[in-house]
Amino acid sequence: MNILIVDDNRDFCGTLADAVSMQGWSPEVCYNPETAMSKLETAHQNVSLMLLDIEFGSESSLTGLDVLEHSIRNYPSIPVIMISGKGTIETAVRATKLGAINFIDKSTLSNDRLVSVLTSAMERITNDRSNDELRKVMEAHGIIGRSTVMMDVADKVLRYGRTGLNVLITGETGTGKKLVAQALHAVSRRSKHPFITVDIPNIPRDLFQSELFGHVKGAFSGAMETKRGLFHQANKGTLFFDEIGDMPMNLQANLLLPLEQRAVRRVGSVETEEVDIRFVSATDRDLVSAMADGRFRDQLYHRLRECEIYIPALRERREDIQLIVEHYLNKHNREMDDHKTISPAAQDYLTDYAWPGNVRELASVLRVALQTLAADQLEITDLHRILSRAPGGGAVTVSASQSAPISQGGQSGHERSRSTTDVDADALSSDLSLKDDLARMDQLKVEKTLEKTNGNVSKAAAILGVSRETLHNKIRKYEIDVNTYRSR
């Protein structure tokens, strides 16, 4: 581990260098900000950690905070610990906001304290490198995120993917459940064999058994030849039940024995055929509640859910939004041979917005906004043009079929579309903060959708792309009386 020490006090640098060396790490010293920035430019890949003073002599026009900001912006993988003999709470807060991982006061620094801080930082570096490997696996499948919750998803993908256990993937619509299913398949021993999707909502009910298990010639009217079902097609690979929560109760029993015995019988046949399949399922439904209400079979749930991966909603990992935005911005510029940028204010707006449709909605909005943008820089007004009622008339519709990759590298067309609910531009006020405006827009979307559904919360939740629980929370938060819409 190479540690870069940046301080104009040569004696103090020597003390730090000795302490670093005694722990088996390699110190390198710079005595002014300019030298440090030059060092970072030429050899940043060799710097594991930087100890950076805040105040430098009058001969330097830069401060340690300048170096910190430059390092975080250009070399974000290098952790920085700030050190100062004139530290204040305000300076420490600013350094932390800029991205420093710790702040040390020279006046209270002991050798034990220094070793403790450095050891903690090195453990963090080791964990970050492990997370880098997880991120590479996820990003290879269009899943963008560095938040703790997404690292947990990535860890589960690797751990569960290498087993033969059946996995249930849960999360709101638009979070990227199919992408996670594909990642599970890709890291499994079955990766060279088929990944077959069972599109539950779109399979005709009268052909359900034929589609899944196949049929023999003459089994029913129209069966002109013997057919292989989806179970046969997925042999040695992965069978993905998409939207398993939408399966009617009367069809669920058909899956119990095939899942248990890994064997199927074609419609019209008396012979049983063995298949070697790993089952992965996904749903945005609350299957526990569905079981309690008698809408989902307990036996099927427990067969499908040997492991579970919950994908958090985008509002639960806002720190990933900037990464996702950058991904789609770069994707647009690369594919369209363009040079669009996003203003800081628009980036803040994207980060603060509720995104009820999750990453799919974010990807769709960006795609429409960037491709219809006349200027070179995306502004808040351009986002309002997509997310709210335009001055000239109707709202722009953004559907799932327009979106690409969680970062939703391409949710398949069969996934349910959702239109962004209209929001009155007049609701925005120059006298209110951005946060207040966003809350008002969110409230208006809920109210308009409840009006559209005559107060039916379940239908409104489906239109908004959120769970009933989430919508009920919003109704309580905004003190909305649902009964007023039901009486209309």
Q: What are phi and psi of 350, to 5 degrees?
A: -60, -40
Pair 201, 292 in one domain: yes
Residues 171 and 265 in one domain: yes
- Confidence at 254, pLDDT banded by 50, 70, 90: very high
More confident residue, 24 or 459: 24
For strands 195-199 and 307-310, give the pairing.
unpaired
The answer to whether residue 376 is domain-embedded is: yes
Instruction: Read off the pLDDT of residues 73-91 as tens digits, 9 standing for 90 and up.
Output: 788 778 899 888 766 677 7
Taking only the tens place, the pLDDT of each residue in 192-212 is: 999 999 999 999 888 899 999
Q: Which of 51-65, 331-345, 423-437 has the highest mean pLDDT?
A: 331-345
Q: Name the more confident of 231 and 465.
A: 231
Mean pLDDT is lowest, of 90-94, 145-149, 321-325, for 90-94
Indicate if the pLDDT at residue 182 is higher than 90: yes
- Max mean pLDDT among 42-56, 85-99, 184-198 falls in 184-198
Which tens digits make up the pLDDT trace of 387-410? 864 333 333 333 333 333 444 433
State whether 190 and 256 are in the same domain: yes
Structure tokens at 373: 């943008």
Domain boundary among 292, 310, 328: 310
pLDDT at 226 over 80: yes
Domain co-membership, 342 together with 484: no
Is the pLDDT at 128 greater than 70? The verdict is no
My answer on whether 70 and 44 are in the same domain is yes
Task: Identify any residues that bridge with 307 across adjacent strands, giving them in sequence order.
Answer: 167
Same domain, 329 and 406: yes
Mean pLDDT of 470-486: 83
**Number of folded domains in the chain?**
4
Secondary structure (3-state) at 182 = helix
Q: Find the CATH number of the domain harbouring 470.
A: 1.10.10
What's the pTM value of the predicted model, to 2 decimals?
0.58
- Whole-angstrom Cα distance, residue 315 to residue 271? 50
| pLDDT score recorded for residue 130 | 60
359 and 455 belong to one structural domain? no
Residue 426 domain flag: no
211: left (phi over 0), alpha (psi -120 to 50) or beta: alpha
Shared-domain flag, residues 367 and 440: no
Is residue 213 within 8 Å of residue 264, measured between CB atoms?
yes
Contact 165, 306 (CB under 8 A): yes
The last residue of a domain, from among 127, 160, 177: 127
**What pLDDT does 278 receive?**
95
Q: Does residue 264 sit within a domain?
A: yes
In this predicted structure, the answer to whether residue 459 has a pLDDT above a threshold of 90 is no
Average pLDDT over residues 411-422: 35
Range of the domain at 370: 314-420
The answer to whether residue 255 is domain-embedded is: yes
If asked whether residues 286 and 192 sit together in one domain, one would say yes
Q: What is the mean pLDDT of residues 125-133?
A: 63
Residue 449 neighbours by CB under 8 Å, 6+ apart = 421, 460, 463, 464
166 within some domain? yes
In CATH, what number is assigned to the domain containing residue 349?
1.10.8.60
Please check whether residue 286 lies inside any domain of the structure: yes
Residue 237 has pLDDT above 60, yes or no: yes
Residue 459 placed within a domain: yes
Mind giving me the DSSP string for 450-483? HHHTTT-HHHHHHHHTS-HHHHHHHHHHTT--TH
- Note whether residue 348 is domain-resident: yes
What stretch of H or E contains 199? strand 195-199
Q: Are 116 and 166 in a shared domain?
A: no
Confidence at residue 321, expressed as pLDDT on a 0 to 100 scale: 94
305 in the same domain as 164: yes
Amino acid at 289: S
pLDDT given for residue 91 in this prediction:
77
| Count of residues making up the chain | 488
Higher-pLDDT residue of 121, 322: 322
pLDDT of res. 392: 33
CATH number of the domain enclosing 271 = 3.40.50.300
Using the 3D structure, point to which of 93, 127, 161 is the last residue of a domain.
127
Residue 392 shares a structural domain with residue 259: no
